[in-house]
Structure 1
Amino acid sequence: MEEYKKRIVKAIQYIDDHLDTDLSLQKVSDIGAYSPFHFHRIFRLITGETVQQYISRKRMERAAFYLALRKQVSLKEIYLQFGFSSHSTFTKTFKNHYGKSPSAFRKSVPENFHQIRLQESKNGQADAVFSSYICNIENLLNWTTMNLKIEVTHLPEMNLAAVMSLGIANVEPAYNVLIRWAEGKHLFPDENVKMISVYHDSFKVTPPDKVRIHACMLLNEKLEKQEGEVFGETIEAGKFIVGSGEVTLHDFEKSWVSLFLWMKENNYSVRKAFPFEIYHTNFKEHPEGKMIVDFCIPIH
């Protein structure tokens, strides 16, 4: 099973990095070093989706992200980029996934894109629904001011050891795998070690049980070779909005939402890179379950 996971991780990374190219089963299975027949079965066993279902979902989620946050990009540019030959085919597929047309989706997503969530309907299909405000934008921005120290800064390149988690429920087991690996390398425990979660999907458009999160540890140098489930990942140097504060696990969603609102209020735009969290303390060691976290958004 370890070898299966290792190859699937490699294939998933390839898919996510090449959504705008032709992703045939043959091509993806070659990356995973299996025959198409065996790869298809193993992929479904591990991810709960067929290869084509995964690719289709990821393309829809990426298209939704572009529609919401890159208003200057036309619908045609978006659907051609993700392999749709016509507006009608793209619209039908998108509507089946999110319950509304791409145009309607874009119009209905001004500043409140963070409110979108996926909900299982009675017939088991995922529909896009818009939740009511838990609190208004002003209250969220006030919460940000009171609880997060925000700065726009340049962060250096970070070399990470990573373990992939598919679904929010699997993040802690992924960290357990990472820690066992680090203990074997005598890298852990160490009070100076930094744990980092890198979000390769957005909860705005991806169901919690499908979100891909990498449980990571900051290293002094690159991890050149994959070792079991542990592989190397690099966060490239660049400009980031960093919101730092002492928060509980229950504050994480509010922290991200308010930080993205702050970004929009201050006219910054997201760069094509992945947001991440840096943990400076462990909530399990705090009497109130608090931890010091940096929430990092890549921007232009």
Structure 2
Amino acid sequence: MKTAFERYHARMQRVLDHIEQHLDGDLDLDALSRVAAFSKFHFHRQFSALFGISTHRYVQLARMKRASYRLAFRGTDTVTDIALDAVYETPETFSRAFRERFGQSPSEFRQMPEWESWLAIFDPLTKARNKYMINFSKNDVNIVEFPETAIAVMEHRGDPGKIGDTIQRFIAWRKTVGLPPRVSNTFNVFHTDPLTTPPAEFHIDLCASTDRKVAENDAGVRAGTIPAGRCAVLRMTGSSDDLEKAATFLYRDWLPDSGEDLRDFSFYCQRISFFPDVPENAAVTDLFVPLK
């Protein structure tokens, strides 16, 4: 049976899930306290004490994060639609609020995001979410035979805080050649560990599966392969901004007890569903550890 502590956290997690699923709806204190089944007279203090951020601030940041993702990575979404979905009455009020928070207008951010300041702004949201994260168990890990997969590869080398620029270029290239995620699987291959690698040496590949020949291009995309072989795979549901907890579980907790040996290929993941196309708590990422 769940302990009282676990039940308490489950009620708070229900609130976070509700926020992610209803960012364009009513998320005032009364509504959220009803979701948690806590008294509205105390709920705001309970939330702030647990997550280190007020409910109002959390909702504001969650809405702005979705809006900024859509501006940066969903070029067909209009500023008007993004503003209304962020629960601003007009595009003008949204633009003023966006500029106050980011120092850029929505149009400027769409063209050339300042990712370093963006990361700093959302740090309180990331920390709040990390206060309560799903704990993995060894039963969550499966062994699979991964098939050899031809991929198109765009490398990102250097500061991980600037990976958003590379993602934008990769999305644009995929659109140009007709390889959007609905017809081409999306992978990331991690050549370095951001926790132990100097920012200048960080290296990750953004990849799209394809059986087509990758033609010479100005985007710097080249052909590559994810080799066939056995892999341990762990499915992670929720924000994929930080995969470190899942990766640490695989390497520190699961691997030593598994009796398995590692194969000579990098740790990688497959992005099954994406934020902001789905609510952030519904994004799905499969993490693969290559095994002999």
Give TM-score, length-normalised by structure 1.
Answer: 0.48
Choose between structure 1 and 2: higher helix proportion: 2
